[in-house]
Amino acid sequence: MFNLGSFSVNLNDIVRKHFFGCHNPEFPMFFLRLLAILNGGIVLIAAPLYLRSQGTLRGEDTETVVLGCVLLALIAASFFYIGLVGHRMRRSVPLRVVGGLLLAVPLITGVAMVAETRYLQAVYLCVIMFCMAAILFVSFVYPGSQVRKHRPMRPREALEPYLELPSSR
């Protein structure tokens, strides 16, 4: 908020109004979803490049390489899923369950890699991936409560005959 005499400017309102044309209360979630899609792309591109530059894929058996590719695909799919379906997850329990199960993959993989790897750069990458997955879980999956907009109607009493429908005679 900038105060320029009698003219005050709120940059958040300017960005919302001029770039997106509305005052959406879920505006910050839009950026988290974009960041999730970007993170999924980075996982698909950067992880194989890093593994090849470190020379860790030489001499590995086929099952290990296939398992690594499947884990990378699941991790990227979890970030893409949150990025694409995140706006509907607050009201849908099945979408939150799938999102939570998919986000469990990068969380568990991040912890396992930090505990098992001996390369410092891999630890940094896994910690960043773990933190991003934890932020997405806390932002999209965990707060999925059904928010009631109206209170439930009270039961009608028998002393209110004017509320009953007239019977056809």
Domain ranges for the chain: 28-144
CB contact at 8 A, 66 and 121: no
Average pLDDT of span 23-28: 63
Residue 55 has pLDDT above 90, yes or no: no
Residues 6+ apart with CB under 8 A from 138: none
Q: Which residue has the tokens 């568990």?
A: 108
Higher pLDDT, 25 or 35: 35
Per-residue model confidence as pLDDT tens digits over 63-72: 887 888 888 9
Residue 156 has pLDDT above 70, yes or no: no
pLDDT confidence tier of residue 105, bands split at 50, 70 and 90? very high
pTM of the model: 0.68
- Rounded mean pLDDT of the chain? 77
Residue 89 has pLDDT above 80, yes or no: yes
Radius of gyration (C-alpha) of the chain in whole angstroms: 25
Higher pLDDT, 6 or 132: 132
pLDDT of residue 28: 75
Per-residue model confidence as pLDDT tens digits over 112-146: 988 988 878 888 888 999 999 999 998 888 876 55
pLDDT confidence tier of residue 6, bands split at 50, 70 and 90? very low
Q: Please report which helix (H) or strand (E) contains residue 7, including its range.
A: strand 7-9
